[in-house]
Structure 1
Amino acid sequence: MARYERLYTSHKDNLKPGVYVIELPKDQVLRLPGPRTRKIEDASLPIRCKKHSSCLPWILRFLLFLIVLVVILVAILFLVFQPRIPKYSVEDIKVHEFNLSRELVVMDVIIRAKNPNKRIGIDYKNSNRLWVSHYETVMCRGSLPGFHQGHMNTSTLEARLTANGLHFPKELSSSIKDQQNDGDVHLNVGMDFPVTIKMGILKSMKFDFKVRCDLSVMRLLSNQTAGIQRGSCRLRI
């Protein structure tokens, strides 16, 4: 037999405060954790949480290390290869057919592309797009075959653009005629070139060169050059 002694205080009238001796069989003794044991177990829970939260500074330090490493690598690449932005210009536009009432437009657009970089080559992909528009109306479109442009290279490209599948609003003809009478026709030339950059043995992912040119030409007549008076091109990546 085992004895379990406990100070027991009851609110009932028939029980008085005191010490009671309860006898139970040895194999049926029930053991409950005392207040001191419960406090220890409860105190251990925040410790586990603190252990997990202590990992956060290490994760932040690791991420910061990666960011610093990437910045250092990019800085080294810039110092070694000294990248410069390619330059583009529209040299001429040869008009073969220009009949808006029949929706027949055929032009050859001659483009100069200059790669001023000493250690960087540019791969132009086949899936490129070129177009000529008058304000928001596209008059002809086409593409160029893909090619590789080496470092310190200037290439002259000629693209045949047509109006296949295009439809023109009635206002287009009158707008061009009015400007042509003044000898100052506004044109936009757009070029989207998917490219990859080669820096030695390194090769970049594919991304787009978006070239937009604003031109002023003298005329748009069949079998004549447009006569570019002024123009400027800008590159967006």
Structure 2
Amino acid sequence: MNGTTANGGTTKSHLYNPTSRPPYRPQPYHCRHRPRRNYCCCCCFWTILIILILALLVAIAGSVFYVLYRPNRPSFTLASLRIHRLNLTTTADSSSSHLSTLFNLTISSKNPNSHLSFSYDPFVVSCVSSNSDVFIGNGTLPAFVSNSKNETTFKGVVVTTSIDLDAETVNNLRPDLKKKNGILLKVQMDTKVTVKMGGLKSKKVGIRVSCDGVKGVLPKGKSPSLANVSGAKCKVDLRIKIWRWTF
């Protein structure tokens, strides 16, 4: 019979035992991105190191240049300002106002450097009232070269205008014209300059020369009045343009 042996003994059943299989051992995870990560770290390290070395070299070169040449900014002086005409007229019905001006300036530029020369583009000269910041007039200066230890003087620089003013501008300007001690004026000059040193030549850089502290007196009759420029101080500022903004 099935399930028995010939000698009458009982056979053992061959049943499936799941515990007899070997346990599952997951394979260890190997990071494959480690070499790539190390490569990025090395690139960052060497890039930063190169930038620091270049910055150090530039600083050393700048220090050597300053010690050898002692560069200084050019200086400007407003020597005189004559007011031939400064008329503000308003119609009888106060519907419109007209400003007519005619100034004559004398301006000097000095280069204090021994090894540097400055090459200037034409200047745009403008005059505004210091208190109300109202535009008074404009003019131009020709291009010129200021060699080392040289002083250049421009006489007869004409600043003039003939414009219609709105009511707000008139209200800001009229009190300044009525002051007994004169109207405070500011002269601004905008241009671009190139610095030359031996065979080296820089790119053009915008500058603005601002002269404050000018006291103008209205002329009487046909004789021009001489403005007081004894307290006028001129400063030179860089004009850096980034896209649409100028600093």
Asked if these proteins are the same fold (TM beyond 0.5), I'd say yes
Distance change >3 Å, CA 90–CA 76, structure 1 → 2:
same
Which residue of 2 is the match for residue 197 of structure 1?
195
Aligned residues between the structures:
205
Deviation track 1:195-219 (CA, whole Å, cap 9, x = no partner) reads 1111111111211222211224352
Q: How far has the Cα of 1:142 moved from its partner?
A: 1.4
2:83/2:227 contact within 8 Å kept: no
Secondary structure, counterpart of 2:39 in structure 1? helix
Which residue of 2 is the match for residue 7 of structure 1?
none
Q: Where does the alignment leave 5 or more consecutive residues of structure 2 unmatched?
A: 1-14, 90-97, 239-247
Q: How far has the Cα of 1:84 moved from its partner?
A: 0.9
1:190/1:213 contact within 8 Å kept: yes
Secondary structure, counterpart of 2:46 in structure 1? helix
Secondary structure, counterpart of 1:103 in structure 2? strand
Partners of 2:223 and 2:60 in 1: CA distance: 56
Partners of 1:206 and 1:166 in 2: CA distance: 36
Distance change >3 Å, CA 82–CA 189, structure 1 → 2:
same
1:93/1:107 contact within 8 Å kept: yes
Q: Residues 109-120 of structure 1 correspond to what in structure 2 (within 5 A)?
A: 109-120=105-116
Deviation track 1:131-188 (CA, whole Å, cap 9, x = no partner) reads 11112111111121111111111111232111144637333234212x2x3x343111
Which residue of 2 is the match for residue 124 of structure 1?
120
Q: Where does the alignment leave 5 or more consecutive residues of structure 1 unmatched?
A: 1-12, 21-33
Partners of 1:145 and 1:58 in 2: CA distance: 50
Which residue of 1 is the match for residue 62 of structure 2?
74
Which residue of 2 is the match for residue 148 of structure 1?
145
Partners of 1:142 and 1:212 in 2: CA distance: 15
Q: How far has the Cα of 1:52 moved from its partner?
A: 2.7
Q: Tell me which of 8, 16, 19 is aligned to 2:18.
A: 16
1:97/1:223 contact within 8 Å kept: no
Partners of 2:134 and 2:117 in 1: CA distance: 34
Length-normalised TM-score, structure 2: 0.73
Identity %, equivalent residues? 23
Task: Give the partner amino acid of 2:110.
Answer: K
Which residue of 2 is the match for residue 52 of structure 1?
40
Which residue of 2 is the match for residue 226 of structure 1?
226
